[in-house]
Amino acid sequence: MKVFSVNFLLKGKTPYKDLAPVFPDILKMLLEDIGQMPEEEEILQMLIDLNVADLEQNRKPEGYNRKGKVRLVFPMDSNEFYIKTYIKNQDLSHIADNISNMLTAAGIKFTTAQNQDVEFD
């Protein structure tokens, strides 16, 4: 079965600020994997800096919610983030495995759920 969305649910009282050190690597890997790496280094650095600033203040960051193949979203109503594709033939298994490995290496406690509330227009 193809994976169209993966939720990374932070366990217990894991604060968002724990994601700050690993977030730049997650974002860079995601953008490279989906072919949406900005051509200008300044744009990538701005995306990283804005998100990491929020994370360091233990606030929900913007993520990467721009129009494209895949989005990285921090929903307002829960302690999690998710990746979701908007293309039916995109499988997120590889990206999800990479993010899981990065989170585990950073000592972040989490669980995952796949294909929750996936809708295609």
Which tops the pLDDT comparison, 110 or 91? 110
Farthest CA pair distance, the chain: 38
Taking residues 31-49, report their average pLDDT.
94
- The rounded distance, in Å, linking the Cα atoms of 76 and 86 is 20
Expressed as residue numbers, the domain containing 51 is 5-114
Residue 9, classified by CB atoms within 10 Å of its CB into exposed (0-12), middle (13-18) or buried (19+), is middle
Query: Residue 121: inside a domain, yes or no?
Result: no
pLDDT at 121 over 90: no
Query: Residue 119: inside a domain, yes or no?
Result: no
Query: Residue 57: inside a domain, yes or no?
Result: yes
Q: Global pTM?
A: 0.89
pLDDT at 11 over 90: yes
Query: Residue 120: inside a domain, yes or no?
Result: no
Residue 26's φ and ψ, nearest 5 degrees, are: -65, -50
Please report the pLDDT score of residue 120 as a whole number: 40
Query: Residue 30: inside a domain, yes or no?
Result: yes
Query: Residue 20: inside a domain, yes or no?
Result: yes
H/E stretch holding 101 reads: helix 93-105
- The rounded distance, in Å, linking the Cα atoms of 33 and 95 is 7
Please report the pLDDT score of residue 13 as a whole number: 87
Query: Residue 21: inside a domain, yes or no?
Result: yes
| Total tally of structural domains belonging to the chain | 1
Question: Residue 19 gets which letter from DSSP?
Answer: G
pLDDT at 1 over 60: no
